[in-house]
Amino acid sequence: MIIYQNSALGFRNAVDNNQIVPNIEAQYISKFGKRVGIGEKRAWNNSLKFMETVIRKSAVPDNCGVLIEYNIPTTSKRIDFIISGQDESNNNNFVIIELKQWDKADATEKEDIVTAYVGGRVREIAHPSYQALSYKRYISDMNEAVYTNNLTPYSCAYLHNYVKKKPEPLTLPQYSYILSGTPIFFSEDSTKLEFFIHKYVGKGNGLDILYQIENGKIKPSRKFIEYVADMFDGNAVYTLLDEQKLAYENIITYATTAEKKRTIIINGGPGTGKSVVAMNAFVALLKKGKNLKFVAPNASFRTAMVSMLSNNSKHSKKRLNILFAGSGQFYNALHNEFDVLVVDEAHRLKGKGAYMYKGESQIEDIIKASRVNVFFIDDNQRIRPDDIGSIETVKAVAVKYGSEVVEVKLEAQFRCSGAEGFLNWVDHNLQLRDTANFNGWDNNSFEFEIVDSPNYLFDKIKEKNAEGYKARMLAGFAWLWTAEKNGNANAEVFDVNIPEYNFKMPWNSRTNSYTWAIEDEKINQIGCVHTSQGLEFDYVGVIIGNDLKYNPEDMIVYASYDDYFDTSGKKGLKSKPEELTSLIKNIYKVLLSRGMKGCYVFCRDKKLQNYLRSRIQNIES
């Protein structure tokens, strides 16, 4: 969506007559239905005067095209400034310019990240050149007009208030890759920026290029599809087995036949391969040229999926990220804007009032925004009161929007070395549901042990990790998590403290929590359900804290409100012990089912430890 477009001459005249901000504001209100903040209007007024000077002094023809605040389709991102035209060889080009009013910034050790004063305080933010580069990549990969009509994008950043320092933090060697293709211009570099613009659009004739950009259909380019497919094909992580193949074929058939609106629900518990099916279906639909996104409420899960698909190549990860999305970004999407939305871990979808979410219901957002929507759900993995993604709720919303519902059930267990009996044992003895595996299971391929100390538990995990296995420590939210502002940005505080065993470990890093599961050096940090749900490890060591206990007199497993420290997870549940207990049991089932080859458990509550140990009688050694 274009907020403002004009010729270079029309843009210059609007700035000269002090009409540029009123013009942009009128279009913004018309298209978004809301008013513009004072700060944003001030930024327009300031930055666009500098841009008018640059455009005028660059001596580009009057018939170059100008876009301001171009809303990148299917995202909430807006490009500050685009100028279009032809170069001396008659190539059709456009230049993306990221504008900043900063007067200082600092480098960080994080890839393509800097710090600057934004929104009333110093924040971490993407390097301005990276922002411009990411917009260029997205348009190149996803705007059909750009890749079929041979429109060539270029990108740069312009910090018109910023006097370059010596040394300059924004041009340090760690940023050399992005700067090589997307230069940054400071206040003293206006002449260089004028030359940069003139080089690519100096012959004008840019208005038709604007039209093509605005009307280009959003769908992945063939080159981009081949790029993703090459990384995916042959990856054993995504091999389909048995019922997974059936679910996959159902998705492909229903998502690609007929034009009716459809909601496909894939129902399966831990270890049934929901994520494997989801990724296979996603890539297959991408190959068919569908405009789609892979939606995952859990940011750690998204990060891990992108890393596995890209083999941890940093440039591949950045390019792939445009296909993955959180669940809260579709509240203002257009009706049927996407061909397909594939939603993994859909039981974690949120409703009104959830943190940072601006809409009413993420389920409604997703169904409204897509012709076909695929929800992978396990009703028993709901872990917070605001998790609304149940099968029945999805069905009800689908009916409301006239979407035909298709259900597929996944039964077979592929996690825990196929030990469906182990997961049944967990269900039975956490008193989630009665099963036949009340006293164990006949399986010698899955390693399980209830250990006597958290120190021994950690030793087992370190041992497995040293042997080349992927192993992690996990715990329930039975300890506080010290805030970043209190000196705990990167796992500095050993919050998980069990003094009776002289055991202390930190929760996973706050500033880099999403990579905790995939970076070897973070084995010394403990993950929780929010950083591990949806992920798989070879071995897990699970600490069950005092938030889950056992009463031998009543013979019940129950939750302790005062020992559970997830504020959002227990909101409104102080007088609802049964609901709280159900949610905390779900959390521990998720944690216990993360290991594919083995699981070791320590219970802080000795009565619970003794109870669980007494329930194991039938395991073959």
Q: Considering its fold, how many domains does the chain have in total? A: 3
Q: Does residue 454 have a cis peptide bond before it, meaning omega lies within 30 degrees of 0?
A: no
Domain with 387 in it: 222-409
E strands within 307-409?
A: 324-325, 338-343, 370-377, 404-409
For residue 264, being part of any structural domain is answered with yes
Closest CA to 331 of 359, 370, 310, 367: 359
* 159 and 269 inside one domain: no
For residue 401, being part of any structural domain is answered with yes
* 180 and 267 inside one domain: no
Which of 358, 393, 409 is the endpoint of a domain? Answer: 409
Q: Where are the alpha helices (DSSP H) in 467-605?
A: 529-532, 577-592
Which of the 8 DSSP states describes residue 89? T
For residue 620, being part of any structural domain is answered with no
Tens digit of each residue's pLDDT (9 = 90 or more) over 436-466: 555 666 566 678 899 999 999 999 999 999 9
* 231 and 207 inside one domain: no
Predicted TM-score (pTM) of this structure: 0.67
Which of 361, 377, 409 is the endpoint of a domain? Answer: 409
* 115 and 96 inside one domain: yes
Q: What is the pLDDT of residue 547?
A: 96
Q: What is the pLDDT of residue 621?
A: 44
119-126: average pLDDT: 85
Distance from C-alpha of 594 to C-alpha of 401, rounded to nearest angstrom = 36
Q: What is the pLDDT of residue 115?
A: 92
* 486 and 578 inside one domain: yes
What CATH number has the domain bearing residue 302? 3.40.50.300
Q: What is the pLDDT of residue 526?
A: 95
Place of tokens 């944690």: 591
Q: What is the pLDDT of residue 225?
A: 77
Closest CA to 231 of 324, 317, 138: 317
* 149 and 254 inside one domain: no
Please give the residue that has the higher pLDDT: either 41 or 435. 41
For residue 210, being part of any structural domain is answered with yes
Distance from C-alpha of 53 to C-alpha of 618, rounded to nearest angstrom = 80
* 204 and 252 inside one domain: no
Q: What is the pLDDT of residue 414?
A: 52
For residue 621, being part of any structural domain is answered with no
For residue 619, being part of any structural domain is answered with no
Residue 428 pLDDT level (bands cut at 50, 70, 90): confident
Which of 198, 215, 232 is the endpoint of a domain? Answer: 215
Tens digit of each residue's pLDDT (9 = 90 or more) over 303-346: 777 777 766 556 677 778 788 888 988 988 889 989 999 998 89
End-to-end CA distance of the chain: 63
492-496: average pLDDT: 94
* 356 and 379 inside one domain: yes
Distance from C-alpha of 592 to C-alpha of 449, rounded to nearest angstrom = 12
Q: What is the pLDDT of residue 395?
A: 96
- The answer, yes or no, to whether residue 416 has pLDDT greater than 60, is no
169-183: average pLDDT: 93
Tens digit of each residue's pLDDT (9 = 90 or more) over 269-285: 776 778 888 888 888 89
For residue 46, being part of any structural domain is answered with yes
* 74 and 18 inside one domain: yes
Residue 579 pLDDT level (bands cut at 50, 70, 90): very high
Contacts of 612 (CB under 8 A, 6+ apart): 429, 450, 601, 603
Please give the residue that has the higher pLDDT: either 317 or 150. 150
- Residues linked to residue 549 through DSSP beta bridges, in sequence order: 558
Q: Note the residue count of the chain.
A: 621
Q: Over the chain, what is the mean pLDDT? A: 87
526-555: average pLDDT: 91
- The answer, yes or no, to whether residue 534 has pLDDT greater than 60, is yes
* 239 and 323 inside one domain: yes
For residue 593, being part of any structural domain is answered with yes
What tokens does 276 get? 């494997």
* 121 and 16 inside one domain: yes
Closest CA to 130 of 98, 105, 165: 98
Place of tokens 């492909």: 252
* 255 and 367 inside one domain: yes
> What is the widest separation between alpha-carbon atoms in the chain?
87
